Amino acid sequence: MATADHRSTEVLEQLAALLEQRKGAEAGSSYVASLYQKGRAKIAQKVGEEGVEVALAAVGDDRDELINEMADLWFHSLVLLADANLTPADVLDELERRFGLSGLEEKARRAQD
């Protein structure tokens, strides 16, 4: 299994920066620019479709298929975030906040034991 390291967030940030640049590109020149042109509902639809594909891949128990479909889901989710003028950092902040909360709950539980 691959291990998480500094690349995990770097690749999200670099891809997000590229997605931001694509806002100024011609729709015919880039898949991402064509998605922006189709609009929020189309991008949201792609995220929904990719989510279903992830679920099907998970049930199929094919490791490579699951990684591929998850990459499609994450990619389209990043496009949706960019279209909404949000960044991966906004989501990472929320995950970090929740992780912090659960960490505190765990500490409190241990203190009671």
Ligand X SMILES: N=c1c2ncn([C@@H]3O[C@H](COP(=O)(O)OP(=O)(O)OP(=O)(O)O)[C@@H](O)[C@H]3O)c2ncn1[C@@H]1O[C@H](COP(=O)(O)O)[C@@H](O)[C@H]1O
Name which of 81, 17, 22, 18 is nearest 46 in CA terms.
81
**Identified binder of ligand X from the candidate list 23, 31, 86, 101, rule CB under 6 A:** 31
Those residues with Cβ within 8 angstroms of residue 15's Cβ, 6 or more apart along the chain or in another chain: 75, 78
**Shortest distance, CB of residue 75 to ligand X, whole angstroms?**
4
Stretch that binds ligand X, among 3-11, 28-36, 86-94, 101-109 (CB under 6 A): 28-36
Nearer to ligand X, 21 or 102 (CB): 21
Stretch that binds ligand X, among 24-32, 61-69, 81-89, 93-101 (CB under 6 A): 24-32
- Residue 108, token pair as written in the block: 């409190």
- Region of 37 please: left (phi>0), alpha (psi -120 to 50) or beta: alpha
* Subset of residues 32 to 61 that bind ligand X, contact rule: CB under 6 A: 32-33
